[in-house]
Structure 1
Amino acid sequence: MPDHFSSNSAHQNADIAVVGAGIIGVACALQLARQGLRVVVIDQQEPGQGASFGNAGHLATEQVFPIADLSILKRLPAMLMDPMGPLRLDWKYMPRALPWFTRLLLNLRPAPFQRTVAGIRALNESSLDAWHRLLDGIDCPGLMREDGSLLVYERPESRPALQALQARMRQQQVPVEFWEAKAVHETAPQLSEQIQGGLFFPATGHFIDPYRVVCELVNAARTCGVQFLTQQVTGGHLNETGVSLVTPQGRVTARRVVIACGAHSAKLTADLTGKKVPLDTERGYHLMLPHEHDRLPFAVTSLERKFIMTPMTDGLRLAGTVEFAGLQAPPSMERAWQLHRLSKGLFRRDLNAQAATPWMGFRPSLPDSLPIIDKVGDGKVLLAFGHQHLGLTQAAVTAELIAQLAGATSAHALPELHPYRLDRF
């Protein structure tokens, strides 16, 4: 990231203040600045240092189903007892998480479940085209690879479950192909012979360096006049002329605000709208293996082991696992190292974990697995958060929707905004 990250005060009377310098906030800032608006981005960290820094890099257009299904009830004991399980609930956090999980289960009833799937699918179907427009506009199309992705299985008894998943995805018009073992090994020859086959998703992709994507967007935004402030927004209120945001360094004023600070968005949303949002966080982990290059041609996920491996410029990123433990508990980096143990047996030769680096970040999740993308507070407050593990995938289309809410016209067909409104809660 360039070392001239601004902390000056030349931001008074901006047209729009964007709170949050992750991939969604930065993409929104760039789109808004291109409309001729004066934009300031505020974050307590430098751009891309939150969840955007360590995501799996996978453009997961195939993931149209909610983050959980009714089997979560059967898994609850394991979630509480197994600290290394793929889906973990910290027992100390359970009292706070219980209302959120209750709402999640209610949203798994047929009617709300179908609304969720339709809402996720609408964003995902528009996401890659939106990313093309955004990256082409900053002359960085090479950061995105559209080589597809693969979900593999190892146990013969897993085949019926995989075929059932294929059928469900086809019902949702997700492009998917069933690959037998021969096709898998011809395309990814370093995978183990024990791989039985998998599902290939041709309409997916990945970023070769997710953090660089943020940096390039920041550079383009600065060229458009966007200012970046390293300040923590601790509160705010609406007034006749717009929005006043409180930081330890003073107040930031703007005609409008975009709340795009991910898992940290609930308090500011409540301050400015009076609405308590049921926002929680999926704590995600990754392990970056810098000595692993050319092992995989695209992102590969293990059905049984429940994690993903994405090839990047700086090595191979192992990512996955979901942990519900809130924003305050320290990270359990052993969960990141567990990803390397999970990889053993997936390749003909085990992955090299020398100099590997672990990471943890907060994915903002709402109980219906849909983000909030809306305009409230007499048009002064724009909302763009709650994308759970699809923030990277949906960032560019979300930015276009926010620009539309801010008054820009679009030459492209964009998803209808009703499923993402704040007042659904």
Structure 2
Amino acid sequence: MSDHLASTGPHDTTDIAVVGAGIIGVACALRLARQGLRVVVIDQQDPGRGASYGNAGHVATEQVFPVADLSILKRLPGMLMDPMGPLRLDWQYMPRALPWFTRLLLNLRPAPFQRTVAGLRALNESSLGAWHRLLAEIGRPELLREDGSLLVFERPDSRLAIDALQARMRAQAVPVDYWTASAVRDVAPQLSERIQGGLFYPRTGHFVDPYRAVCALVEAAKASGVQFLKHRVLGGHLHERGVSLITEQGYLTARQVLIACGAHSATLTAALTGKKVPLDTERGYHLMLPHEHDRLPFAVTSLERKFIMTPMADGLRLAGTVEFAGLKRPANMARAWQLHRLSKGLFSDDLNAADATPWMGFRPSLPDSLPIIDRVCDGRVLLAFGHQHLGLTQAAITAELIARMALPATISNSHGLPAIEPYRLGRF
């Protein structure tokens, strides 16, 4: 048994136990350790092997609107009937999903909608700067390329939607430029002649390998004294010294705990805080094409086909479908392969899918599209989960916020960090 798990007396050596070794948990652990705190990260998987492993790699600072709009009502029959559609709701999961979807629709009313947009903007506008700071500190700035991203359209009648989106983005101070078809082909000549134009977002970027980024943070965290335990957390309770976590191997006691285990965060949050959060999961798929290099200079999304293609060190990653089917149902990898079929016609020559590998992961989503980032239970419990498909984008700024919250003397909105009020647990 680990010394950390065996040690539950008054001389415990752990200041903060971080539950979750994804990109958010690891980034937070590194920041906390660099504040001089003794940190242990605990997860039933190796670091970065959950949703952080297979995300699209896109630093999506432009995505300041909720995950859905009122058109979801019209799309509901298609979500149920089309197993390969870009947004899928599993029939068997529908009874559990409907309360969450109801809350999502309620949050699309004008006042809560504006609160969501303001909350997403505050995090996203700070995200790239936070990532540059973090990667510079560990000496790995090359992992992130701030080279923009492009949303393309193919049908002439989509121009109205593109113009409307550009206007909405500019109203939220999101940098965006309209590119003509010739401008698109100047930078991405392998794209099809069908492309009519698109919107270019200059203040976005992509990681050359999201998993490699997690590994780099883990290495830096270990060098800063963070310890990693591969155990499953079964529950926990608060006491006067802090928090005791129950694992399959024993107990781990710490002064504070940070819950950052993504889609799996609700149970432990309820056990420690008594608060039941409406956390669900968007099951996201990707298809990795190892023989596709130099097709695209940066991430490109299709307006009509509703998926993204990101160039990475190990090939081209196709991602972007969403499925609501919970945490227990097996992955439907046909949805991943559907991404290759969606790509047909977007390039002058079809993409090479030889040796392609499919993947599915769980994106943690709350019905107001905002994460929970908070300090509760007299500071004994910190929370950082529910970032939906923006976990990679918002990980570094979330780590800075958590680092400020960890010690009472540092709780302030200093150094231009976003205020935490929109992300409080108490909103539910």
Question: What TM-score comes out, normalization by structure 1 length?
Answer: 0.98
Alignment-mate amino acid for residue 416 of structure 2: A
Paired residue type of 2:376: V
Q: Distance in 1 between matches of 2:131 and 2:57?
A: 13
Where 2:117 maps in the other structure, the secondary structure is: helix
**Residues in 1 aligned to 2:357 and 2:82: alpha-carbon distance in whole angstroms:** 23
Secondary structure of residue in 2 paired with 1:234: strand
Aligned partners of 1:89 and 1:411: how far apart in 2?
A: 42
After superposition, the C-alpha distances for 1:245-291 in whole angstroms (9 at most, x for unaligned) are 00010001100000000000000000000000000000000000000
- Between stretches 178-187 and 11-20, larger displacement belongs to 11-20
* Aligned-partner Cα distance in 1 for 2:160–2:176: 16
- Give the secondary-structure state (helix, strand or coil) at the position aligned to 2:288: strand
Match in the other structure for 1:412? 415
2:38 corresponding residue in structure 1: 38
Aligned AA (1:38): R
Query: Map of 1:25-424 to 2, 5 A cutoff?
Result: 25-407=25-407, 409=410, 412-424=415-427
**Matched AA of 2:348:** R
Amino acid at match of 1:9: D
Rounded Cα–Cα distance in structure 1 between residues aligned with 2:275 and 2:73: 29
Amino acid at match of 1:372: I
In structure 2, C-alpha distance between the alignment counterparts of 1:377 and 1:411, rounded to whole Å: 23
Does residue 8 in structure 1 map to residue 11 in structure 2?
A: no
CA distance in structure 2 between the aligned counterparts of 1:366 and 1:411, rounded to whole angstroms:
27
> What CA deviation, in whole Å up to 9, does each residue of 1:112-153 have, x standing for no partner?
000000000000000000001100000000000011000000
Residues 1:18 and 2:25 aligned together: no
How far, CA to CA, are the matches of 1:132 and 1:101 in structure 2? 36
- 1:154 Cα offset (Å): 0.2
Match of 2:186, SS state, is: helix
Unpaired segments of 5 or more residues in structure 2?
none
CA contact (8 A) 2:55 2:286 kept: yes
Do the aligned residues in 1 keep the contact of 2:4 with 2:252 (CA within 8 Å)? no
Match of 2:54, SS state, is coil
Secondary structure, aligned partner of 2:233:
coil
The answer to which of 325-334 and 8-17 deviates more is 8-17
Residues in 1 aligned to 2:83 and 2:300: alpha-carbon distance in whole angstroms: 24
State the distance in 2 between where 1:361 and 1:243 align.
29
Matched position secondary structure for 1:139: coil
1:9 Cα shift?
3.0
Q: Percentage identity across aligned positions?
A: 79
Q: Partners of 2:218 and 2:143 in 1: how far apart?
A: 15
| Separation in structure 1 between the aligned mates of residue 217 and residue 416 of structure 2, nearest angstrom | 23
Tell me which amino acid in the other structure corresponds to 2:427.
R
CA distance in 1, matches of 2:406, 2:43: 21
Query: 1:411: Cα distance to partner?
Result: 6.2
Unpaired segments ≥5 residues, structure 1: 1-6
1:214 partner SS: helix
1:3 is matched with none
Q: How far apart, in 2, do the equivalents of 1:310 and 1:8 lie? A: 40
Structure 1 residue 383: deviation in Å? 0.2
User: How many Å separate the matches in 2 of 1:412 and 1:157?
Assistant: 45
- The CA deviation string for residues 289-339 of structure 1, in whole angstroms up to 9 with x for no partner, is 000000000000000000000000000000011100000000000000000
Q: Secondary structure at the match of 1:53?
A: helix
In the TM superposition, structure 1's runs of 4+ consecutive aligned residues that sit over 2 Å from their partners are 7-13, 407-412
**AA aligned opposite 1:186:** D
Q: Give the whole-Å Cα distance in 1 for the aligned partners of 2:121 and 2:414.
A: 21
The 2-side partners of 1:9 and 1:105 are apart by 48
Any conservation in 1 of the 2:29–2:39 contact (CA below 8 Å)?
A: yes
State how far apart, in whole Å, the 1-side matches of 2:72 and 2:167 are: 21
Distance 1:289 1:112 in 2: 40
Deviation at 1:10, TM superposition (A): 3.6
Shift in Å at residue 382 of structure 1? Answer: 0.1
RMSD, aligned CA: 0.9
What is the distance in 1 between the residues matched to 2:167 and 2:416?
28
Amino acid paired to 2:254: A
Give 3-state SS (helix, strand or coil) of 2:416's partner: coil
